[in-house]
Copies of this chain bind each other. A is one copy, B any other.
Amino acid sequence: MKLSSRTEYAVRAMAELAEMHGGGPISLREIAARQDIPEKYLEQLFRQLRKAELISGLRGAQGGYSLAREPCEITVGDIMRAVDGPIAVCSCAAEGKGDADCERKSHCAAHPVWAKLQDGIVSILDSTTLYDMLAKTATQDMQGNRGGGS
């Protein structure tokens, strides 16, 4: 029940890209440096993001990457699926599997729970766009919960 580093990195990098949206393309190197992500690793992720048509790359000197759509049109779920494949809480409750799931499913007490969990996760991920993310970091007061309780 944990996010992969691919997802964590990819989302952070995309947020960075969204923040710069509108200007020219930004080099992978710059993003990697600003977010402290291994360059070569991020390169791999960007290739997948590009294949998913979330970003577009511009080769050559002065090249770089930029968003392929508006920030409000890219969700965290999109990013996650691009780098990690379909979202699946467990093999018995994955998205995009019409019928050929677990044979046990019909009489399994656990299945409705996994389905509900899957649904909850997907709906959060799919309803949060890059735009939302930036907006939230700007109005940072709701997160300002510091001062450890004893």
Contact = CB atoms under 8 A, between A and B. Distances in A.
Given A1-B4, A107-B137, A112-B143, 6 more contacts: A1-B88, A2-B89, A8-B90, A12-B109, A19-B109, A109-B133
Given A12-B108, A117-B125, A3 B148 contact: no
Nearest to A107: B137
A14 to B, nearest CB: 9
A136 interface: yes
Given A80-B1, A90-B8, A98-B149, A117 B109 contact: no
Given A121-B121, A124-B117, A148-B99, A110 B1 contact: no
A126 to B, nearest CB: 12
Interface bracket on A? 35 or more
Interface in A88-128: 88-90, 92, 98-99, 104-117, 120-121, 124-125, 128
Counted per complex, copies of this chain come to 2
A56 interface: no
Contact of A110 (B8, B84, B117, B146): B8
A77 B58 CA distance: 47
A68 interface: no
A49 interface: no
B1 A114 contact: no
